[in-house]
A and B are shown apart, each in its own frame.
Chain A
Amino acid sequence: MAAVKRCVTHFVKQGNLERICHCSCDCYGPRKDADLLRVGLQQGGQAAAPAGPRVNDSDCFEGTAGGSDGPLGSGPALRKQPIPPCAGRAPSSALPRSAPVVVARAALVGGRSKMAGVPAVRISIESACEKQVQEVGLDGSETYLQPLSMSQNLARLAQRIDFSQGSGSEEDEPGSAGRAWAEPGEPEDEEGLVKFQPSLWPWDSVRNNLRSALTEMCVLYDVLSIVKDKKFMALDPVVQDPLPPKQNPQFLQLISKKKSLAGAAQILLKGAERLSKSVAENQENKRQRDFNSELLRLRQHWKLRKVGDKILGDLSYRSAGSLFLHHGTFEVIKNTDIDLDKKIPEDYCPLDVQIPSDLEGSAYIKVSIQKQAPDIGDLGTVNLFKRPMLKPKPGSPHWQTKLEAAQNVLLCKEIFAQLSREAVQIKSQIPHIVVKNQIISQPFPGLQLSISLCHSSNDKKSQKSASEKQNPDDHLYVLEHNLHQLIRECHKQTLSSTVMPHPASAPFGHKRMRLAGPQAFDKNDISSLQSNEGLLEKIIKQAKHIFLRRRTARTIDSLASRIEDPQIQAHWSNINDVYESSVKVLITSQGYEQICKSIQLQLNIGVEQIRVVHRDGRVITLSHQEQELQDFLLSQMSQHQVHAVQQLAKVMGWHVLSFSNHVGLGPVESIGNASAITVASPNGDYAISVRNGPESGSKVMVQFPRSQCKDLPKGDVLQDSKWNHLRGPFKEVQWNKMEGRNFVYKMELLMAALTPC
């Protein structure tokens, strides 16, 4: 007892009860708090009073400490029953856990109590209520240490147990378990006789209990293993009394069978009921889950928000930069009109979307170029909806197609609204007409460009009217696509970093415009930075270009098919602009492509003009008139013939005496000018003179030497015969009777004929 330390502040002794301190001081004095651990020591063999407040904490356990023997009749030395973790019960008071401080001491002070006949002491161990303070903050708030969990606590306690030192049954420990069994009374006696020494650490009895439990378990294990072997020990079943014979075995058997069957049937029925309930629940759940999973899928593609108890979505382009005033809201509704009994249809979807009524159906913008309508009064509502309903993509749910179609309708409406606004506001030389769903403008005289919004709802009557016979479609799909792209570009402009500065601290305005001042940009430079062409202007320019290109192609092709000699070749370039295309036109003679390649024209087809660049460097600008290009090409073809003669002369060795692209002699051509060339044979005897005009065709004359002409007037001037070697009069060649498939071939034959070997 001398080793007992007493906490000065905490010791209170009340009669037989001693309160035990479980503050963190190292004493065993009591504390005045309510949740104390009370160790009741009673003498005279009374059962220990139930320990203090039974803490419903998960790391509490109740034990009986101290040796108790016979008078108590409490059996073996220590009986411990670990209380199962009281997870289900809420603690009566939220007792915090702290490091439980000890207390398994049956306090006996001095010689007052004797160990002999000491009753079993029941010990309840509870943890103290207060958490340990980990730190105190600067503003006075305290941070508590989290109390240890049950396993942590147990581990901590177990670590303190020193299994190498026991009390009482220690000497027997190294022996076999059987011996401990053989002498059950001994340890008790020994414990009873030994004067209770307050152990240095409080877990002595716990350790002893554990050791004996271990011993017993080992014994049991050994016994069972021996019994299993059946060599040295055997289990003998207890003989049961035989049952009395039944009186009416069949009757009873029947009844018992019926009963047992009924019982089995009950069980089966219960199980079946449960199964069917679960299946129904499953289906219901599946439907529920389906709606949610469909909603999730919907959410991946479209923006949704919850307003009250409705789910609304947004299918407009506002978040992409559009400024169109349409709400574009659709509602998501649950599809509950499904009958569970009937078979669920294949395309059943638990989710349905309701789109605004003016966006129903499908729409497209039709851009077409026609000859000008004779009377403006003929314009009516264009109901040229011919595009069939697009088949939905397989695999995409029906709400996706519905929403996409609605979004397309909205975009087409926006495009048309923008175009009509510009058509009305922007001044142009020939004003644009806006009639109902059509915008009509005149890009070229005699030509009419109509842009119309074709919107068909899904009603039956619109289907009927669409089946009328329509005019041959001039629908320029390219322009429709371009319109869509242009409006998207407009959208992007509103979100661009010039309008909305990125990052937010960046200045407004175009970067280049800020440099305009210090770099002294003039008006041309500034206007090139700012492009303020509207959608309508752009699309009209594109339409003009497409039309001009088509007409140019048609002109060249018609010429090529009409005229065989010389031949026209057109090489169109693959890479074009929306406003510019180019084609290279070659005029050649068949069979003489390498020799006669002087006429090569590069045509740059712009929006309103065609610019022709000749091989010799001349640049000519033609207007959009078809006739101009045709005349030009015809004049070039006629020039080609004469150029070909020139090249041929070089090859054949003939000398070019004169050459002119535009002769001033002879009949005046209505298209262009005639060209002429005179070539002389290598030995000078003959000369060929060619005059070729676009309209008048070719005229070939050959000059013979005087000696070959019989009908020359003989005069007195020329006396010498040497003058007869000079070339004399001309004779025309009947060109259409010449052999040869084209002009140059004929010319070559002629030259060959006139060149003596």
Chain B
Amino acid sequence: MGVTCVSQVPVAEGKSVQQTVELLTRKLEVLGAEKQGTFCVDCETYHTAASTIGTQGQTGKLMYVMHNSEYPLSCFALFESGPCLIADANFDILMVKLKGFFQNAKANKIETRGTRYQYCDFLVKVGTVTMGPSARGISVEVEYCPCVIANDCWSLLMEFMQSFMGSHAPGLPSVFGTKHDSIYSPSDTMVQYMELFNKIRKQQQVPVAGMR
């Protein structure tokens, strides 16, 4: 588990999501990356139940429960600005028991699926973000396995991403800013995914107004 950067690649002009993904993967294959199977990251949203909230807000806090196929036996639970919990896979069953306190917003389930490529020390995952039946965007996750300190390898990651993403290479993720010299952990990856999904969720609501 090395330093990971999750970013979104905008859909190319005049092309569909699938075609853009194909463009990216072809670039990677030309670069020399080998395909190593598929990956999946999904996220479910839970509201704190109306009966338990105080006078804070209307919907209370939102909790996200995420899974990542890279860590098949784990389950991540995080609040928007709060802590991230890494738990066993039994956490999902626990959430069922906590139905009284956390209610599942089933419509907000979002996930990204795609292929996993390995290029020497880099792991690249290009996936299609879907919410329900519709594809909403493209997520690219680049991981540099040997390094665990974020600030040490950011420039290398940037360079690599520019080689196949071109101008769409992202800027420094917000989690890196707070990290300084501490060790990168999988929960940081999940925070990045959560932010990406929220962005995509907000994005698509603009053109498709009135629909959730």
CB proximity of B5 to chain A, nearest CB, Å: 17
A144 close to B (CB within 8 Å): no
B73, B76, B90: which has the most chain A beta carbons within 10 Å? B73
Question: Which residues in window 183-222 of A have CB below 8 A to B?
Answer: none
Complex contact B70–A517 (CB within 8 A) = no
Complex contact A516–B70 (CB within 8 A) = no
How far, in whole Å, are A526 and B89 apart by their CA atoms in the complex?
A: 14
Complex contact A522–B86 (CB within 8 A) = no
Q: Considering the complex, give the chain A residue whose CB is closest to the CB of B186.
A: A520
Map CB proximity to A onto B64-91 as digits: 1 under 8 Å, 0 otherwise. 0000001111111000000000111110
Map CB proximity to B onto A515-553 as digits: 1 under 8 Å, 0 otherwise. 011111111001000000000000000000000000000
Complex contact A517–B1 (CB within 8 A) = no
Q: Considering the complex, give the chain B residue whose CB is closest to the CB of A513.
A: B73
Q: Which of A513, A514, A518, A526 contacts B86 (CB 8 A)?
A: A518
Q: Which of B71, B75, B185 contacts A521 (CB 8 A)?
A: B71
Map CB proximity to A onto B103-120 as digits: 1 under 8 Å, 0 otherwise. 000000000000000000
Complex contact B88–A526 (CB within 8 A) = no
Question: Which residues in window 490-516 of A have CB below 8 A to B?
Answer: 513-514, 516
Question: Which residues in window 164-212 of B have CB below 8 A to A?
Answer: 185-187
How far, in whole Å, are A519 and B72 apart by their CA atoms in the complex?
A: 11
Complex contact A522–B87 (CB within 8 A) = no
Q: Which residues of B contact A517 (CB under 8 A)?
A: 73-75, 86-90
Map CB proximity to A onto B1-24 as digits: 1 under 8 Å, 0 otherwise. 100000000000000000000000
Give the A interface residue count (CB, 8 A).
Answer: 11
Q: Which residues of A contact B76 (CB under 8 A)?
A: 520
Complex contact A518–B88 (CB within 8 A) = yes
Q: Which residues of B contact A522 (CB under 8 A)?
A: 1, 70-71
Complex contact A518–B71 (CB within 8 A) = no
Complex contact B71–A520 (CB within 8 A) = yes
Complex contact B74–A526 (CB within 8 A) = no
CB proximity of A513 to chain B, nearest CB, Å: 8
Q: Which residues of B contact A518 (CB under 8 A)?
A: 74, 86-88
How far, in whole Å, are A514 and B89 apart by their CA atoms in the complex?
A: 10
Q: Which residues of A contact B72 (CB under 8 A)?
A: 523, 526
How far, in whole Å, are A521 and B187 apart by their CA atoms in the complex?
A: 12
A514, A518, A520, A526: which has the most chain B beta carbons within 10 Å? A520
CB proximity of A526 to chain B, nearest CB, Å: 7
A517, A519, A523: which has the most chain B beta carbons within 10 Å? A517
Q: Considering the complex, give the chain A residue whose CB is closest to the CB of B185.
A: A520
CB proximity of B141 to chain A, nearest CB, Å: 13
How far, in whole Å, are A55 and B71 apart by their CA atoms in the complex?
A: 93
Q: Which residues of B contact A519 (CB under 8 A)?
A: 74, 86
Q: Which residues of A contact B187 (CB under 8 A)?
A: 520
CB proximity of B196 to chain A, nearest CB, Å: 19
CB proximity of A514 to chain B, nearest CB, Å: 8
Q: Considering the complex, give the chain A residue whose CB is closest to the CB of B89.
A: A517
How far, in whole Å, are A526 and B72 apart by their CA atoms in the complex?
A: 9
CB proximity of A459 to chain B, nearest CB, Å: 57
Map CB proximity to B onto A337-352 as digits: 1 under 8 Å, 0 otherwise. 0000000000000000
Question: Which residues in window 84-101 of B have CB below 8 A to A?
Answer: 86-90
Q: Which residues of B contact A513 (CB under 8 A)?
A: 73
Q: Which residues of A contact B74 (CB under 8 A)?
A: 516-521
How far, in whole Å, are A517 and B91 apart by their CA atoms in the complex?
A: 10
CB proximity of B123 to chain A, nearest CB, Å: 10
B71, B75, B87: which has the most chain A beta carbons within 10 Å? B71
How far, in whole Å, are A54 and B164 apart by their CA atoms in the complex?
A: 122
CB proximity of A508 to chain B, nearest CB, Å: 14
CB proximity of A45 to chain B, nearest CB, Å: 107
How far, in whole Å, are A161 and B87 apart by their CA atoms in the complex?
A: 90
Q: Which residues of A contact B73 (CB under 8 A)?
A: 513, 516-517, 521, 526
CB proximity of B64 to chain A, nearest CB, Å: 16
Q: Which residues of A contact B71 (CB under 8 A)?
A: 520-522
Complex contact A520–B88 (CB within 8 A) = no
How far, in whole Å, are A522 and B185 apart by their CA atoms in the complex?
A: 12
How far, in whole Å, are A519 and B74 apart by their CA atoms in the complex?
A: 8
How far, in whole Å, are A523 and B38 apart by their CA atoms in the complex?
A: 13
CB proximity of A511 to chain B, nearest CB, Å: 14
Q: Considering the complex, give the chain A residue whose CB is closest to the CB of B37.
A: A523
Q: Which residues of A contact B86 (CB under 8 A)?
A: 517-520
How far, in whole Å, are A521 and B70 apart by their CA atoms in the complex?
A: 8
How far, in whole Å, are A513 and B73 apart by their CA atoms in the complex?
A: 9
How far, in whole Å, are A514 and B90 apart by their CA atoms in the complex?
A: 11
CB proximity of A521 to chain B, nearest CB, Å: 7
Given A526-B72, A526-B73, do A520 and B89 touch, yes or no (CB 8 Å)?
A: no
B72, B86, B90, B187: which has the most chain A beta carbons within 10 Å? B72
CB proximity of B190 to chain A, nearest CB, Å: 9
Question: Which residues in window 574-614 of A have CB below 8 A to B?
Answer: none
How far, in whole Å, are A513 and B89 apart by their CA atoms in the complex?
A: 12
How far, in whole Å, are A105 and B187 apart by their CA atoms in the complex?
A: 105
How far, in whole Å, are A522 and B37 apart by their CA atoms in the complex?
A: 14
CB proximity of B188 to chain A, nearest CB, Å: 11
CB proximity of A93 to chain B, nearest CB, Å: 76
How far, in whole Å, are A517 and B74 apart by their CA atoms in the complex?
A: 4
Instruction: Point out residues on A near B: beta carbons under 8 Å.
Output: 513-514, 516-523, 526
Instruction: Point out residues on B near A: beta carbons under 8 Å.
Output: 1, 70-76, 86-90, 185-187
Given contacts A516-B73, A520-B74, A522-B70, 20 further A-B contacts (CB under 8 A): A513-B73, A514-B88, A517-B74, A517-B75, A517-B86, A517-B87, A517-B88, A518-B74, A519-B74, A520-B1, A520-B76, A520-B185, A520-B186, A520-B187, A521-B71, A521-B74, A522-B1, A523-B70, A523-B72, A526-B72
User: What are 5 sample pairs from A and B whose C-beta atoms fall under 8 A apart?
Assistant: A516-B73, A517-B74, A519-B86, A520-B86, A520-B187
